Amino acid sequence: MTDPVRSAAPGDTRRPVVGVVGGGQLARMMQQAAIGLDLELRLLAASGGDSAARVIPGTTVGDERGRDDLLAFAADVDVLTFDHEHVPQPHLQALEQAGAVLRPGPRALRHAQDKAVMREDLAAAGLPVPRFVVVTDVADLDRAAEHVGGWPVVLKTARGGYDGKGVWLVEGPAADHDAFRAGVPVVVEERVAFSRELAAVVARSPSGQAVAYPVVESVQRDGICVEVRAPAPGLHPDTAVAAQRLALQVAEALGVVGILAVELFELPDGRLDVNELAMRPHNTGHWTIDGAVTSQFENHLRAVLDLPLGSPIARAPACVMVNVLGGEDPGVHGALSHVLAHDPAVRVHLYGKQVRPGRKIGHVTIVGADMDDCVRRAWHAADALTRGRRG
């Protein structure tokens, strides 16, 4: 394949066109980066009111998981990339067969779509994962638990889970379990006694160039990432390097193009286990918009177009991102005045989504010199936006 961008001839005035499947906040934040480099984003979204559709001209409203809509959309773009990992494999393959350039490609994406395949392939590549067994029948649960070191175990449906959904902690033998209802394989894993969760975000281009962002600590609540500290406080330099190296190895082993986020368990002895993978800009990388020289969104676009990658280094000693979850007030703008007045340095990112209690509707970032100060200020802003005018 001739690369659509690098092959630009002298005098060629065409701007590169990136098609994004899915109209969520990730596509929305890609648009801020695309404007700077004059890359044209086109969007396939379920609705013209979707987060990204509000800020990208000429959105195609269609079925993001529908074969025909995807093929028609792909015909007009140089490169296809994704706001989410929900496009079925057969459609991804049909797109490639039709000549579309998918970045990341189907083979890589499969590892973000199917936890059983991800665990198996990472283990086969010698990369550290929790002990696991893949089963399809609840009757095999006992033997699986024994195999991974005994009860309790964690069950994960191989496909369809996100943000804590599709994950269960099981304390002992069960004759029946919800995990098996969907009829997809279930990954039975040891419950890892981790000290904390880390994330290593890397960008990788088709030509193999890669950059690694500083390793962050991800604070979870009910299975949802609520806060990210960059860099991970007190992380041993050897562990930081190991985490970055691990993420780069995963990216190369799976042939990822674009951003790869590797969510990690840090174990008490400093070892790391891979928890989850995401092959797109990721919540644990949102801090990079304000806190790094090049944001993960810009580096995702640069990677999928095989443009040289930007510096991932941090702009300051500390950066904290806190997600803004929807509260009881359906309007989020009412609280903006308070939040902006209270802290003139707060960076607010709202996603233009309808507010529902508990839904991620934005994030705030504080960049500074002292991590504890950043944490306190970021939570103040996020909590105020959640409470809205009813706080």
Beta carbon nearer to a copy of itself, 29 or 375: 29
CA gap 122, 100 in Å, rounded: 27
Beta bridge mates, 153: 170, 190
- In whole angstroms, how close is the CB of 79 to a copy of itself at the nearest point? 14
8 A C-beta contact, residue 14 and residue 77: no
Beta carbon nearer to a copy of itself, 31 or 239: 31
CA gap 259, 105 in Å, rounded: 12
Beta carbon nearer to a copy of itself, 47 or 311: 311
Beta carbon nearer to a copy of itself, 181 or 333: 333
- In whole angstroms, how close is the CB of 231 to a copy of itself at the nearest point? 17
CA gap 59, 48 in Å, rounded: 7
Q: Where do runs of H (alpha helix) occur along 125-171? A: 141-147
- In whole angstroms, how close is the CB of 31 to a copy of itself at the nearest point? 6
The one-letter amino acid at 365: T
CA gap 187, 245 in Å, rounded: 26
The DSSP result for 10-52, as a single string, is TT--PPPEEEEE--SHHHHHHHHHHHHHTPEEEEEES-TTSTT
- Footprint of a copy of itself (CB under 8 A): 5-6, 8-16, 28-29, 31-32, 34-38, 40, 53-59, 211, 293-294, 302, 307-311, 313, 315-316, 329-334, 336-337, 340-341, 344-345, 347-352, 354-355, 362, 367, 388-390
The pair of three-digit structure tokens given for residue 222, joined into one six-digit string: 């009910």
Beta carbon nearer to a copy of itself, 153 or 367: 367
- In whole angstroms, how close is the CB of 330 to a copy of itself at the nearest point? 5
- In whole angstroms, how close is the CB of 379 to a copy of itself at the nearest point? 19
- In whole angstroms, how close is the CB of 331 to a copy of itself at the nearest point? 4
8 A C-beta contact, residue 335 and residue 384: yes
Beta carbon nearer to a copy of itself, 72 or 345: 345
The one-letter amino acid at 353: K
